[in-house]
Amino acid sequence: MVTTRQGKRNSYTIRGTDTTVTVGDYVLLRPTEGNRPTVARVEKFEQDNMDRKRVHVRRFYRPEETVGGRQCFHRNKELFLSDHYDVHSVDTIEGKCFVHAFGKRLAYETANDYFCRFPQ
């Protein structure tokens, strides 16, 4: 059994970039299946006694990934916050993204902007 310890830092700089991710940020994780990355919120970082860094995340789902499926009233980039928590290697973080409240209108929407009806 591997013991873990909470790192002194609550941030991580994405490898090959100068982008820093902190607890509470929204991130894109390398896709496990399909070609779209997983959207998640960073809950905490930890490091085990072998210096492997891990990130604890709370996952968002796209409508088509749920039992009800995508409906005509879902926005193109709508997400649902789940109670699904995962632990991944920090190397699976591809970048940062932004999850906005559903009613918010942006002057300019980027590829990394998503929407959630009930963000927390």
Q: Render each residue's pLDDT in the chain as its tens digit; 120 residues.
A: 444 454 446 889 988 899 999 999 999 999 877 788 999 999 999 988 888 899 999 999 887 776 776 676 666 788 888 999 999 999 999 999 999 887 777 778 888 988 887 766
Say what the pLDDT of residue 116 is: 84
Say what the pLDDT of residue 7 is: 47
User: Which one-letter DSSP state was computed for residue 92?
Assistant: G
Spell out the domain ranges in the chain.
4-116
Say what the pLDDT of residue 50 is: 85
63 by DSSP, 3-state: which?
Answer: helix
> Regarding beta strands 78-89 and 113-116, do their DSSP bridges make them parallel or antiparallel, or are they unpaired?
parallel
* Chain segment 4-18, per-residue pLDDT in tens: 454 446 889 988 899
Report how far residue 36's alpha carbon sits from residue 74's, in angstroms, rounded to the nearest whole number.
Answer: 18
Say what the pLDDT of residue 67 is: 73
Q: Which CATH superfamily is domain 4-116 in?
A: Bromo adjacent homology (BAH) domain (2.30.30.490)
The answer to whether the beta carbons of residues 37 and 28 sit under 8 Å apart is yes
